[in-house]
Structure 1
């Protein structure tokens, strides 16, 4: 068994330079035609909240916020505004990794959350009456505090919602 492991290890060592992707960039490589200009970082781009949703959220939460529960990606459609109805929920929407670690600057993230939480948007009427939009300063402050136990915090917020009579759809459950 030990000799077999040594043979496999030797094969991997010999094969690795040919089997791995190039690690050092090719400095002579030219950009694709039409892509010669230096790219603008997302945090400096002036995209609409809808475009920023497509670039930062759609990959997991899908086109209209429907999520992918089988992959532990919760549905936001017609529900996400309920987080604003319980203590800690407002902070949570900024602090979830997809928000807090996105490439968006604080104002862009505030604009995106406000866009999502509009009652004719992804929130679909779930936001509370008199919803106070996020500000850049508020997002900046909440973003600095991380969530240590994301599933636990989320579960606690959902339990608070149930206590005040909000029905939790199966696609939202952790």
Structure 2
């Protein structure tokens, strides 16, 4: 009996988060982003993934930061449409920022079309600009 009950309980526990929160955007976050950023948005220094809390709102608050967000590897390789990416980004902003403007499908399309030859260099530039304004964001351990 344990052999049949245990797998059912495990599947129920894993599926439960998919039914809470903001529907499909939350599900897409769980399936496409949480593997690196985690369910709490904390990321991992060891994995080179910056935390969302205390950072993503500041980054989304500047023009270049919004472009950067459309070019992080998980977004570029997400195989989601522009509306779905906007929804996931808005889920992230809703969970881990205060007051950041939401993304629209049109903005996502426009920013994804901007050539970004090196996303790490772009992030460092965004962070330098924020720091010049006295705003500090999560560490980014990439070289």
**Corresponding residue for 1:104?**
80
Higher-RCO chain (CA-CA 8 Å, sequence separation at least 6): 2
Counterpart of 1:142 (choices 99, 111, 119) is 111
SS at match of 2:35: helix
Whether 1:168 and 2:123 are equivalent positions in the alignment is no
Count of aligned positions: 120
What's the C-alpha RMSD, in Å, of the aligned pairs?
A: 1.8
Contact 2:41/2:51 (CA < 8 Å) preserved in 1? yes
**Corresponding residue for 2:32?**
56
How far apart are the structure 1 equivalents of 2:42 and 2:75?
Answer: 17
How far apart are the structure 2 equivalents of 1:141 and 1:86?
Answer: 15
How far apart are the structure 2 equivalents of 1:106 and 1:86?
Answer: 20
How far apart are the structure 2 equivalents of 1:93 and 1:68?
Answer: 17
Which structure shows the higher helix fraction? 2
Superposed CA offset, 1:142-171 (max 9, x none)? 11234211221111111111111112344x
Superposed CA offset, 1:2-59 (max 9, x none)? xxxxxxxxxxxxxxxxxxxxxxxxxxxxxxxxxxxxxxxxxxxxx5111100011011
TM-score (norm 2): 0.75
Contact 2:59/2:65 (CA < 8 Å) preserved in 1? yes
User: What residue ranges of structure 1 are gaps of 5+ in the alignment?
Assistant: 1-46
**Corresponding residue for 1:158?**
127
**Corresponding residue for 1:77?**
53
User: What residue ranges of structure 2 are gaps of 5+ in the alignment?
Assistant: 1-22
